[in-house]
Chains A and B, each alone.
Chain A
Amino acid sequence: AQTVTQSQPEMSVQEAETVTLSCTYDTSENNYYLFWYKQPPSRQMILVIRQEAYKQQNATENRFSVNFQKAAKSFSLKISDSQLGDTAMYFCAFILTPGGATNKLIFGTGTLLAVQP
């Protein structure tokens, strides 16, 4: 079975500081993509960053970066210089690839991040 575990239900960080959100996953497949999505109170899921499992280099997107450890099946998200607008629920997710499959996202239970002024 494919599962995603986010062990931190809630986290808090001071504005301008750095925070790391944890995620582990379980799959027997070798090809997959990993994602972090942000869900603000408006409920609309927004893609933050993605990582291809076959790439060893960690993905970076402005203030967001990941630490991908394939052997450990770990995929943490680091947010640098936290901003008030980063306050949201963050979901770790993955998709098994490729073609023929549905490409459905498998989500974790989320981490609620609060950025304090």
Chain B
Amino acid sequence: GAGVSQSPRYKVAKRGQDVALRCDPISGHVSLFWYQQALGQGPEFLTYFQNEAQLDKSGLPSDRFFAERPEGSVSTLKIQRTQQEDSAVYLCASSLAQGALIQYFGAGTRLSVL
């Protein structure tokens, strides 16, 4: 596609519900990143994929967070048993190759946990 696409754009969940956030990277991009942006803060790294391999998940805040990219293109970030502190914008970014410096961002999914 022309750019990184994320869906849904907004998600409201009740505390305890599971949610799944989708990211469609730019076609052909090898690297994919997830970031979490709390209100009034800068994005913080969650996890990184090179093709289908999850090479770094050091930023995932708890074992309730899980990400996958099974075919090396679309990625899904899943949050189980959501809590209020999970409320944030979740940004996805892709880059052309491993080591590529320029990351292209999607518009994010704003998650509100009530």
Q: A and B from one assembly? A: yes
- Give A contacts to B, CB under 8 Å: 4, 33, 42-47, 50, 91, 93, 95, 97-99, 102-110
Size range of the chain B interface in the assembly: 20 to 34
Most chain A CB within 10 A, of B31, B40, B42, B45, is at B42
- B42 A45 Cβ-Cβ under 8 A: no
Closest to B89 in A: A43
Supposing A104-B33, A109-B42 touch, asked if A47 and B59 sit within 8 A by C-beta, the answer is no
- B45 A104 Cβ-Cβ under 8 A: yes
- B55 A110 Cβ-Cβ under 8 A: no
- B91 A45 Cβ-Cβ under 8 A: yes
10 A-B residue pairs with Cβ-Cβ distance under 8 Å, sorted by A, are A4-B42, A44-B105, A44-B107, A46-B105, A103-B95, A105-B45, A109-B40, A109-B42, A110-B40, A110-B42
Closest to A35 in B: B101
B93 neighbours in A (Cβ, 8 Å)? 45, 105
A99 to chain B, nearest CB (A): 5
A109 to B62, CA, bound (A): 22
- A108 B101 Cβ-Cβ under 8 A: no
- B108 A104 Cβ-Cβ under 8 A: no
Closest to B3 in A: A44
Kindly supply a per-residue 1/0 record for chain B positions 50-69, scoring 1 wherever the CB is within 8 Å of any chain A CB and 0 otherwise.
Answer: 00000110010000000000
Closest to A110 in B: B42
Supposing A99-B98, A102-B55, A104-B59 touch, asked if A109 and B41 sit within 8 A by C-beta, the answer is yes
B63 to chain A, nearest CB (A): 20
A102 neighbours in B (Cβ, 8 Å)? 45, 48, 55-56
Closest to A93 in B: B42
- B99 A103 Cβ-Cβ under 8 A: yes
Supposing A98-B99, A103-B95, A103-B101 touch, asked if A43 and B107 sit within 8 A by C-beta, the answer is yes
Q: Per a CB cutoff under 8 Å, which of A45, A95, A106 touches B101? A: A95
18 other contacts beyond A98-B99, A103-B31, A109-B41, with CB at 8 A cut-off? A4-B42, A43-B91, A43-B108, A44-B108, A50-B101, A93-B42, A95-B101, A97-B99, A102-B48, A102-B55, A103-B103, A104-B56, A105-B33, A105-B35, A105-B93, A106-B45, A107-B42, A110-B41
